[in-house]
């Protein structure tokens, strides 16, 4: 419940800033109307950047890979005993 209150407070603050920019002549009106769109595009770019950085830093675990391969071989053997076709080896 606390997070929704923080998000709502942030949205209210951003809306107040945006409305105040619309009322004053600090920025040209054509730019001010596009600020929410620019914010959404910027947030999307930031999200894609964070996903890309996370993928580049994804750790490899060779020991876990070997354990997983052993589990796969064991599972294939178990399923073959039960008569299930598990594909080619």
> Is this structure's pTM higher than 0.75?
no
Name the burial class of residue 88, with classes exposed (0-12), middle (13-18) and buried (19+) by CB atoms within 10 angstroms of its CB.
exposed
Q: What is the pLDDT along the chain (89 residues), one digit of tens a residue?
A: 688 898 899 889 988 888 887 788 777 777 777 878 888 899 899 999 999 998 888 878 888 889 999 999 999 999 998 888 887 65
DSSP E strand boundaries for the chain? none
pLDDT at residue 47, as a whole number = 92
pLDDT at residue 89, as a whole number = 57
pLDDT at residue 44, as a whole number = 93
DSSP letter assigned to residue 60: P
């Amino acid at each position: 419940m606390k997070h929704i209150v923080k998000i709502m407070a942030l949205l209210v603050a951003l809306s107040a800033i945006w409305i105040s920019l619309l009322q004053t002549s600090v920025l040209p009106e054509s730019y001010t109307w596009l600020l929410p769109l620019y914010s959404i595009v910027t947030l999307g770019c930031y999200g894609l950047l964070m996903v890309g950085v996370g993928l580049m830093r994804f750790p490899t675990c060779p020991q876990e890979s070997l354990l997983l391969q052993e589990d796969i071989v064991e599972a294939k053997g178990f399923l073959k005993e039960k008569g299930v076709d598990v594909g080619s080896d």
